[in-house]
């Protein structure tokens, strides 16, 4: 079985985010980049499928230097090989462009399964997996929380409001991973050592045959400005004994905030 996992390097979820001087990027000084948390579930599920069926796993990332470490992290967890799409022209892509480029990388590979994280914590779009499935002409299950594969058939469970939906079909297919799918393993020391020796194939826009197609002026969606969230006004601390606190709270919610 041949399995592709799309991964993204993102700022640590604990990181303080500051808008850079150009007001279009974040200030990356002091920011540690990590594997997108949802991609960890995707990597784990790929490794589990390989353990069961044998075959090959490939991690694919688009990004600058920060993506290298994250690809090493995938290799250290046990992914067999990595492809790094790295080109100044392909930075800060919108979901449509990202999906097209990933499809370009994946299309000829003959993959049986493609995994993505359900959302990249950064752009917070959760749009790439479904767009990618369309470009690959594969069926998909977004926000997968359970997956069983037997004889090229899959049975997946996805979360919807107030319920779980069971989706069945044949491979090849694309799945986006949601928390709950599995418990991601950590890289082992042995894995980290082995990862250093594995090669990461680097491809630029020329190698992919897309040079000029995704330059900033060709993109259909552009970040005009990044702004900090509005400051919340200073809150009120409610004093007194428990009875007074409860009474005051109800009064404030009703008469000041008008929310009950």
Partner 1 sequence: MAQGILVFIEQRNGQVRKSSLEALSEAARLIGNVGGSVSAVVVGQNVKGLTAEISKYKPAKIFVVDSGDFANYSTEGYAQAVTEAVKKADPAFVFSAQTSMAKDLIPRVAARLDAPIATDVTEIKSEGSSLTAVKPMYSGKAYGVYEFASPLVFLTLRPNRFALAAADAGHQAQVEDLAVAAGNIRAKVGEVHAAKGQTIEVSEAPIIVAGGRGIKGPENWPVLQNLCDVLGAALGASRAVVDAGWIDHQHQVGQTGKTVSPQLYIACGISGAIQHLAGMSSSKVIVAINKDPEAPIFKHATYGIVGDVLEIVPKVTEELKHMNGKN
User: For partner 1, which residue of 124, 151, 199, 255 counts as binding (CB under 8 A)?
Assistant: 124
By C-alpha distance, which of 112, 127, 110 is closest to 8? 127
128 burial (CB, 10 Å; 0-12 / 13-18 / 19+) is buried
Q: Is 90 in the site for partner 1 (CB under 8 A)?
A: no
Which among 68-76, 187-195, 206-214, 230-238 is the span making contact with partner 1, rule CB under 8 A? Answer: 230-238
Which among 71-79, 88-96, 107-115, 189-197 is the span making contact with partner 1, rule CB under 8 A? Answer: 88-96
Q: Which does 206 bind (CB under 5 to 8 A by kind): partner 1, ligand FAD, none?
A: none
What does DSSP assign to residue 65?
T
Three-point CA angle 106, 104, 115, nearest 5°: 35
Q: How far is the CB of 14 from partner 1 (least distance, A)?
A: 6
Site for ligand FAD in 21-60 (CB under 6 A): 37
Q: Is 183 in the site for ligand FAD (CB under 6 A)?
A: no
- C-alpha distances (whole Å) from 231 to each of 17, 123, 228, 234, 245 are 14, 21, 8, 9, 26
Closest to partner 1 by CB, 199 vs 241, is 241
| 85 and 105 Cβ atoms separated by less than 8 Å | yes
| 39 and 12 Cβ atoms separated by less than 8 Å | no
Q: Is 124 in the site for ligand FAD (CB under 6 A)?
A: no
Q: Is 225 in the site for ligand FAD (CB under 6 A)?
A: no
Q: How far is the CB of 37 from ligand FAD (least distance, A)?
A: 4
Structure tokens at 101: 């480029």
Q: Is 168 in the site for partner 1 (CB under 8 A)?
A: yes
Q: How far is the CB of 38 from ligand FAD (least distance, A)?
A: 9
Q: How far is the CB of 197 from ligand FAD (least distance, A)?
A: 29
Q: Which does 160 bind (CB under 5 to 8 A by kind): ligand FAD, partner 1, none?
A: partner 1
Closest to partner 1 by CB, 55 vs 123, is 123
Site for ligand FAD in 191-220 (CB under 6 A): none
| Radius of gyration of the chain from its Cα atoms, rounded to whole angstroms | 22
What span, in angstroms and rounded, lies between the C-alpha atoms of 21 and 35?
26
Long-range residue pairs from 126-130, CB within 8 A, at least 24 positions apart, any chain: 126/176, 127/95, 127/96, 127/99, 128/6, 128/95, 128/98, 128/99, 128/102, 129/6, 129/174, 129/175, 129/176, 130/176
Contact residues for ligand FAD, defined by CB under 6 A: 13, 37
């Amino acid at each position: 079985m041949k399995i592709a996992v799309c991964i993204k390097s993102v700022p640590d979820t604990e990181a303080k985010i500051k808008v850079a001087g150009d007001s279009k990027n974040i200030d990356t000084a002091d920011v540690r980049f990590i594997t997108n948390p949802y991609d960890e579930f995707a990597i784990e599920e790929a490794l589990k499928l390989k353990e069961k069926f044998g075959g090959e796993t490939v991690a694919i990332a688009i990004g600058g230097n920060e993506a290298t470490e994250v690809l090493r992290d995938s290799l250290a967890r046990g992914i067999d090989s990595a492809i790094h799409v790295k080109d100044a022209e392909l930075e800060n892509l919108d979901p449509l462009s990202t999906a097209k480029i990933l499809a370009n990388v994946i299309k000829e590979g003959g993959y049986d399964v493609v995994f993505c994280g359900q959302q990249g914590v950064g752009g917070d779009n959760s749009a790439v997996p479904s767009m990618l499935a369309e470009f690959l002409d594969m069926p998909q299950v977004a926000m997968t929380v359970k997956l069983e594969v037997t004889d090229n058939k899959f049975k997946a469970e996805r979360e919807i409001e107030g319920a779980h939906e069971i989706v069945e079909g044949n491979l090849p297919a694309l799945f986006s991973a949601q928390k709950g799918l599995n418990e991601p393993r950590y890289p082992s020391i042995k894995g980290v050592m082995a990862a250093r020796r594995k090669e990461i194939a680097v491809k630029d826009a020329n190698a992919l045959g897309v040079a000029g197609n995704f330059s900033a002026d060709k993109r259909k969606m552009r970040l005009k400005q990044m702004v900090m969230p509005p400051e919340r006004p200073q809150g009120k601390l409610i004093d007194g004994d428990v009875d007074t606190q409860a009474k005051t709270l109800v009064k404030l919610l009703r008469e000041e905030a008008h929310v009950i």
